[in-house]
Amino acid sequence: MDPTHLLTTETLSSHMPSIPLWSVVPHSTSAVPTLSRTFTCKNFVTAMSCMTTMGKIFERQSHHADLSVHSYRNVTVTIYTHSVDGVTLNDVELAKVLDQEVKIEYSPKWLKENALAMGTAVVKGSKPPVEYCLNVTLYCLPTRRDEFLACIAGNCAGTLNTEPLAISYEWGESETSENTFHFHERYQGREGFEAHTQTEHFKAWEQFAATEPFSKDPEVLFFTKA
pLDDT in tens, 185-213: 999 888 889 999 999 999 999 999 999 99
Per the domain annotation, does 125 fall within a domain?
no
Amino acid found at 194: E
What's residue 118's pLDDT? 86
Q: Summarize pLDDT for 96-135 with one digit per residue, the tens.
A: 999 989 999 999 999 989 988 988 998 665 566 789 999 9
What's residue 48's pLDDT? 95
Query: Looking at residues 51-71, what average pLDDT do you find?
Result: 93
Instruction: Tell me the CATH number at 63.
Output: 3.30.1360.20
Which SS3 state, helix, strand or coil, does residue 55 take? helix
Name which of 22-31, 119-128, 133-142, 182-191 the model is least confident about.
119-128
Write the Ramachandran bin of 71: left for phi over 0, alpha for psi from -120 to 50, otherwise beta.
left
What's residue 127's pLDDT? 63
What's residue 189's pLDDT? 87
Distance CA 128, CA 113 (A): 20
Residues 114 and 151 both lie in one domain:
no
Residues 44 and 23 both lie in one domain:
yes
Domain of 104, in residue numbers? 3-120
Question: Bigger pLDDT: 86 or 30?
Answer: 86
Among 98, 97, 115, which Cα is nearest to 106's? 115
Average pLDDT, the chain: 92
Looking at the predicted structure, is the pLDDT value of residue 76 above 70? yes
Please tell me the number of Cα atoms within 13 Å of 146 on its side-chain side: 1
